[in-house]
Structure 1
Amino acid sequence: IGDEDSFEVILDTFGDRRNGFEFATNPAGAHADQQVTNEGKDTNVSWDAVWFVKTAIVRDGWTVEMAIPFRSLRFEVGGPAWGVNFGRHLRRKNEVDYWAPVPRAYTLARVSLAGTIDGLTEAQPGRNLQVKPFLLGSSVRPTGGTAFDHSLDAGIDLKYGVTPALTLDITGRPDFAQAEADEQTVNLTQFSQFFPEKRGFFLENAGLFYVGDAARNNRINPTPSPDEDLLLFFSRRIGLSPSGSPIPIAAGARLTGRAAGFTVGALNVQTERSGATLPTNYTMLRARRNIRGASDIGALFMSRQSTTGSGDWNRVYGVDANIRLPGNIDWSSYVVNSATPGVRGATGAWRTSLNHEGDYFHGKIGAMELGRDFRDDMGYYRRVGARKWLLDTGIRPRSAAMKAKGIRELHPHLTWNYYTNPSGRMIAKSLHSGFSFFFNNGA
């Protein structure tokens, strides 16, 4: 679904005013869905639910009817009232309307502004069990040869709703052949490229494992990108080499959802030997507790452990907080430390930022530091031994005079990043400034 007429709905099934399931369609009846975590700090567009939609184009517009089975959602039976909001994009007017009002600085993902739907206390998700076995065989004879080389491979993926709010995923020798391929790009930077996760086993509720502060919400592309300097948990470190070549996974399990008032995520995966890569076990534990409205605190623990007895391991552990302050100001911070055999010194990392999103003004200030000896074998980061200062600000003026001239909005903006080493000497800096025009016709 692109820049055309569309209709979307978001369901906050836990009533926590921060997470939800979003479904969208257009007059042609296309399907689009995603999981929203922490009001858009993480959006999982690769999530694929089972639901149905029927549309009809009529004389004075178009109609839509959606059927979303309870079994496709995650919720607590008899829990709090759900949050709900609806949005409609009218392309001919370049207009977005919401059932529960949402300021133009935000999108439907701002679940704290959603309305409420009552009367679902008797809803039952039913038995949620999905089993996907696979069997792959081949028989090859070289040209001119007389003997065949035979191979046989089998595996299974299982998804089970332990409770209506907890989902267990189990995999044995998974086949990721159907995963979408990475886009081919040319890397002209000094850093390794970031490619998003597309393997099904790692996708559902992937936002539960996210730690940090999302990029500024851009209304042209509302999906935030990971923090450019440190993504603490990056699932592509599991079962893939640095070049993207597959490393066989023997078995894995994930438990994600809500329990005892906490949002929890647990993952354990065992990989096999592949060339010079030794068999390795990966563990990620994440817990988050909602406090005072739209705020939360959390903790994480990650471990990469060679299972050959070689003593090769790496651990990362820490705490984080996301606090909603008055005036649409969000404070986001985390502190983590790493442990690796034989490594001592500056093994920690931290980040803090203040962010304000308003209809007219937006701004973010922040700082972060990665110690010289920090190491995260399950994360994505670009440099260590560095401190970063950041500023991102801009305005979005609108006026009747501009509208009369065909201009809907102006957006002058500035982004500044400044890097130093621990002693304060500058090692890198970047400055981006821009002046964007948004016209009444949507251009």
Structure 2
Amino acid sequence: MYLVRSACLFLGLVFICSAYVYSQVALRPSIQAGKVTGEITIDGFLDEPDWQTAPVLDSFLTTEPVEKGTPSAPTFVRVMATSKAIIIGVECKDPNPERIVRFSKLRDTDISNEDHIKVVIDPFLDGQSGYILAVNANAARYDALVSNRGESENEDWDTIWEARVSINENGWIAEIRLPIQSIYFKKKLTEWGFNVERRIQRNQETIRWANVQRDQFFGQTSRAGLLTNLPTFNYGWGLSVRPSLVNSLNKEGADGATIYNLEPSLDASQRLGPNVLATITVNTDFAETEVDTRQTNLTRFPLFFPEKRAFFLEGSDIFEFGFGTGSNTVLPFFSRRIGLVGNEQVPIIAGAKVNGRIGNTAFGGLGLRTNSFDSEGTSYDATTMGVMRIRQNVLKESSVGFIASVGDPLGRDKSFMSGLDFTYQTTRFNGNKNLIAGAWALYTNREDLLDDRSAFGIKLDYPNDKWDLSLTYSRIGKEFDPSLGFVPRLGVHFFRLGTVYAPRPNWLLVRQMFNELFATYIKNIDGEWQSYSVFMAPVNWRLESGDRIEMNVRPVGENITEPFEIADGVIIPVDKYHFMRYRLEAEFAAKRRLNGQVSWWFGSFYDGTLDELELELNWNPSSLLGFEFNGQRNIGRLPFGDFDQTLVGMRVRFNVTSDLQLNSYVQYDTDSRVLGVNARIHWIFSPLGDVFLVFNHNTFNDITDRWSLQNEQIILKIRYTFRL
């Protein structure tokens, strides 16, 4: 009955809210794609004759600092299309080109705080999905999938495309070629959703062509303009074959032998149509994947680390499930459960994946076979795992879907999970506001799970520029533990209320104020409370300079029913604790060569005190060289014992060109006492091929301050994609 009442209340709220949705859809601006009659060289110069005859898009307005204001410099966009590719040319005029903010050259680096242009395309014209391409004035490329229906971006996704840039006395020019075989698209469409955004960083200025509203996100393709006059695309046979060859030298311990391995691997994909792709992987290798950034954990719950492996990221937007789910409540499918157990890699023998869209239906299926392995003295057999996802678009911007998974990384029997979700979304609530509401339900099974194995939740969200309001509720069963999912807490009711009021005062130095209140209350299903937290930001001001200052107050409660070790030798005993945390934080604008963020949490903590100091510092002395430092220091003084934790990391980036970089990352923490070094040379010698040279080195510092080698590895990986 509780579930029925909750569902009825939720659907009633959706019905009431949807009554206010503005029924008239505004006409979408459009630009025609020009035709290519000659050869186009991607070099950052729009000097071919076809560029001169292509239609020009120049009607841009600002979203920052003034909504629908006049940009400080003009922008001209031209698009051309062939049967094989989309080609985009952007002229970014600038009266002071020497002041263009451009540091990065690395692929997929964060260029949001530099001068850049960003393009979003919706080749299904469904208003719920899309691809994002961005490039800065150094030709650093960034690509992402539209995620959460435009509210966010899945920046870990990568595809094959080209971009080149040139700078002249009038500004800078970006030239982009996106092969049609690099994306999915709906057959026979002659127009796609399309939008362009430009950032002029020193002015803290953002301009757009379509969807020029602060309340709307750039990735909301339902609000994008249209790219028309598209030809009939030809993706050829649709076959891509990418063999890789991995040479490695591995050494375990100071006295261990150095072992040489030569391992081939293969990824191949075949289009089953312009919008469906089947992929296989054999002897899968992830040698090029960056190491995880270490985290400290002052809770009794597991930490979350994001997926970084390319095979699992392709089409990952389709597997997103349930509005209101996430790493703090439930992720029904968490791909890091496959091929990773703890910190140990498990060999993937082979896998297959099919994903795409047919009409208004998006679907994905994934199946993999992992090899046998040993972990902490226990042997595990080879196992097969799979997941399936179907999502049907309904009501213009909404969807209903189904997810299911089978198999267990540890080979436990009778493991499966299934669930349903519904998400209602509109970008036209009360005329032009965002409104999202969602409900989901899941059930899991495994031979060792006997109690309540269900979970469900609802969320109502009003995410807009001045007001951002949300209400979330989740119920997680006592034994809801999906083998391929991530669930930090079992057997709880989870409540969260979020309120952000963000006015833009007419003050000399302040651009926007974020007055925040996030209240979280978690109680056991049996009724007793487990945790509460009230996060408040009476001051969170973004300045006209791009700098930011923030002050926070956070009352916290923890009901500890079983002792847990918070630090080495420090045990938090059973009791109910109430304490106050405070934070001071300052962020320095990334437009400067030296920038970063400093944060200090302080106050009471489990009947004692805790100071958490964090520093992130970025120094870009030139476009060739960059340094990134991150450090955290925890100083705990508790009745049960004192602890000091330090975590430091330093990343050095040597950017020869946007296609050749050397990156090294060194990190150390006093908990593990392991000094880790990860260095990578990445050379993209062709849009279809690249080379990685990777060096990993880990040494352990024992209690006598003696350093001993844990492991060392040198990897050379060469891969090339053959397209037919």
Amino acid at match of 2:415: N
Matches within 5 A, 1:31-430: 31-40=141-150, 43-79=153-189, 81-136=191-246, 152-213=262-323, 226-242=326-342, 244-275=343-374, 276-305=379-408, 312-325=413-426, 326-327=429-430, 328-341=434-447, 343-399=449-505, 401-402=506-507, 405-430=508-533
- Corresponding residue SS for 2:222: helix
Distance in 2 (CA, whole Å) between partners of 1:374 and 1:118 is: 48
Contact 1:7–1:24 (Cα < 8 Å) also in 2:
yes
Partner of 1:441: 545
Q: Is the alpha carbon distance of 1:59 and 1:235 closer, same or farther for their aligned partners in structure 2, counting shifts above 3 Å? A: same
Contact 1:53–1:64 (Cα < 8 Å) also in 2:
yes
Amino acid at match of 2:129: N
- Corresponding residue SS for 2:144: strand
Amino acid at match of 1:436: N
Deviations 1:232-259 (A, max 9, x none): 11000001012x2111111100111112
Distance in 2 (CA, whole Å) between partners of 1:334 and 1:312 is: 26
- What's the offset of the Cα at 1:119? 1.7
Contact 2:318–2:363 (Cα < 8 Å) also in 1:
yes
Q: Is the alpha carbon distance of 1:67 and 1:214 closer, same or farther for their aligned partners in structure 2, counting shifts above 3 Å? A: farther
Amino acid at match of 1:393: T
> Which residue of the other structure, out of 125, 129, 140, is the alignment partner of 1:30?
140
Contact 2:158–2:310 (Cα < 8 Å) also in 1:
no
- What's the offset of the Cα at 1:80? 6.4
Amino acid at match of 1:363: L
- What's the offset of the Cα at 1:134? 3.4
Deviations 1:368-421 (A, max 9, x none): 01011212110111111100110111111013x32xx11111111011110011
Amino acid at match of 1:235: S
- What's the offset of the Cα at 1:152? 4.9
Q: Is the alpha carbon distance of 1:290 and 1:278 closer, same or farther for their aligned partners in structure 2, counting shifts above 3 Å? A: same
Contact 2:324–2:458 (Cα < 8 Å) also in 1:
no
Q: Which of 174-183 and 229-238 deviates more?
A: 174-183
Deviations 1:143-170 (A, max 9, x none): xx9x997755333111222211011121
Contact 1:7–1:88 (Cα < 8 Å) also in 2:
yes
Distance in 2 (CA, whole Å) between partners of 1:389 and 1:148 is: 53
Deviations 1:351-370 (A, max 9, x none): 10000012211100010010
Distance in 2 (CA, whole Å) between partners of 1:383 and 1:167 is: 36
Deviations 1:68-114 (A, max 9, x none): 22122210220363100000111122111110024224431121110
Partner of 1:222: none
Amino acid at match of 1:228: N
Q: Which of 124-133 and 7-16 deviates more?
A: 124-133
Q: Is the alpha carbon distance of 1:329 and 1:277 closer, same or farther for their aligned partners in structure 2, counting shifts above 3 Å? A: same
- Corresponding residue SS for 2:341: coil
- What's the offset of the Cα at 1:227? 3.7
Distance in 1 (CA, whole Å) between partners of 2:495 and 2:501 is: 21
Partner of 1:19: 129
TM-score between both structures, scaled by the size of structure 2: 0.56
Tell me, which stretches of 5 or more residues in structure 2 are unaligned? 1-110, 548-724
Partner of 2:82: none
TM-score between both structures, scaled by the size of structure 1: 0.89
- Corresponding residue SS for 1:201: helix
Distance in 2 (CA, whole Å) between partners of 1:289 and 1:179 is: 33
Deviations 1:291-346 (A, max 9, x none): 011000000111115897xx713111110011025342100111011122253332
- What's the offset of the Cα at 1:426? 0.9
Q: Which of 107-116 and 119-128 deviates more?
A: 119-128
Distance in 1 (CA, whole Å) between partners of 2:205 and 2:395 is: 34
- Corresponding residue SS for 1:68: strand
The alignment of Structure 1 onto Structure 2 pairs a total of residues equal to 424
Distance in 2 (CA, whole Å) between partners of 1:55 and 1:373 is: 54
Contact 1:313–1:340 (Cα < 8 Å) also in 2:
yes
- What's the offset of the Cα at 1:117? 1.5
Amino acid at match of 1:53: A
Amino acid at match of 1:437: W
Q: Is the alpha carbon distance of 1:427 and 1:380 closer, same or farther for their aligned partners in structure 2, counting shifts above 3 Å? A: same
Greater per-residue strand proportion? 2
Distance in 2 (CA, whole Å) between partners of 1:160 and 1:265 is: 15
Q: Which of 183-192 and 389-398 deviates more?
A: 183-192
Distance in 1 (CA, whole Å) between partners of 2:383 and 2:151 is: 30
Amino acid at match of 1:128: G
- Corresponding residue SS for 1:429: strand
Partner of 1:221: none
Contact 1:239–1:246 (Cα < 8 Å) also in 2:
yes
Contact 2:210–2:223 (Cα < 8 Å) also in 1:
yes
Distance in 2 (CA, whole Å) between partners of 1:137 and 1:409 is: 52
Partner of 2:9: none
Distance in 1 (CA, whole Å) between partners of 2:281 and 2:518 is: 43
- Corresponding residue SS for 1:270: strand
Distance in 2 (CA, whole Å) between partners of 1:369 and 1:407 is: 41
Deviations 1:198-245 (A, max 9, x none): 112111111111112369xxxxxxxxxx44121111000001012x21
Distance in 1 (CA, whole Å) between partners of 2:353 and 2:152 is: 18
Backbone CA RMSD of aligned residues: 2.5
Amino acid at match of 1:91: Q
Q: Which of 3-12 and 157-166 deviates more?
A: 157-166
Contact 1:241–1:247 (Cα < 8 Å) also in 2:
yes
Amino acid at match of 1:119: N
Q: Is the alpha carbon distance of 1:227 and 1:333 closer, same or farther for their aligned partners in structure 2, counting shifts above 3 Å? A: farther
Contact 2:151–2:220 (Cα < 8 Å) also in 1:
no
- What's the offset of the Cα at 1:125? 2.8
Partner of 1:219: none
Amino acid at match of 2:329: D
Contact 1:419–1:426 (Cα < 8 Å) also in 2:
yes
